[in-house]
């Protein structure tokens, strides 16, 4: 089920800790949607804050934690859903040289996005 929350700070004038203090109660309110884990991603300079509550289904380890950052650090993803063909996509990406830390469909989708949509097809 999971739970996503976040906001944009139009003035982008707050510090990381101030944004985190605003985000924390929003994320906590979603505990019932994701009792297994919680996470936050904040870019104070851009005035962006995302929170996530997780129901761990596919990858129960810390490697499935969200928000998830791509291996090159260029992308951040919060995802509530399921990629049905993620094992096939993972094999395809591994054939192209990608390496994975965990076994989640989220990580596969994130790395596929990093390569561009032309190399893989996700079945959502």
Q: Which domains does the chain have, with CATH numbers?
A: 1-55 (3.30.1070), 70-124 (no CATH)
The overall pTM is greater than 0.85: no
**pLDDT band at residue 62 under the 50/70/90 scheme:** confident
Task: Say whether 2 is catalytic.
Answer: yes
- The answer to whether 65 and 54 have CB atoms below 8 angstroms apart is yes
Please indicate whether residue 71 or residue 42 has the higher confidence score (pLDDT): 42
Q: Which two tokens stand for residue 10?
A: 């139009």
Q: State pLDDT tens for residues 6-40.
A: 999 887 788 999 999 999 999 999 999 888 889 99
Of the residues 2, 23, 77, 93, only one is catalytic, namely: 2
Question: What percentage of residues in the chain have a pLDDT greater than 90?
Answer: 60
**Bridge partners of 49?**
7, 42
- Which residues, at least 6 apart from 59, have a Cβ–Cβ distance to it below 8 Å? 102, 103, 104, 106, 107
- Closest among 30, 25, 70 to 52, alpha carbons compared: 30
Separation CA 80–CA 74 (nearest Å): 20
């Amino acid at each position: 089920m999971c739970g996503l929350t976040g906001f944009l700070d139009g003035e982008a004038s707050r510090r990381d800790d101030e944004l985190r203090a605003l985000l924390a109660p929003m994320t906590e309110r979603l505990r019932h949607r994701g009792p297994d884990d919680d996470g936050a991603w904040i870019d104070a300079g851009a005035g962006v804050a995302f929170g996530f509550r997780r129901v761990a289904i596919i990858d129960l380890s810390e490697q499935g934690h969200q928000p998830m950052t791509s291996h090159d650090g260029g992308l951040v993803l919060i995802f509530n859903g399921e990629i049905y063909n993620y094992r096939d996509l993972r094999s395809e990406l591994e054939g192209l040289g990608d390496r994975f830390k965990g076994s989640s469909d989220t990580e596969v989708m994130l790395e596929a996005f990093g390569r561009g949509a032309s190399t893989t097809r996700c079945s959502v």
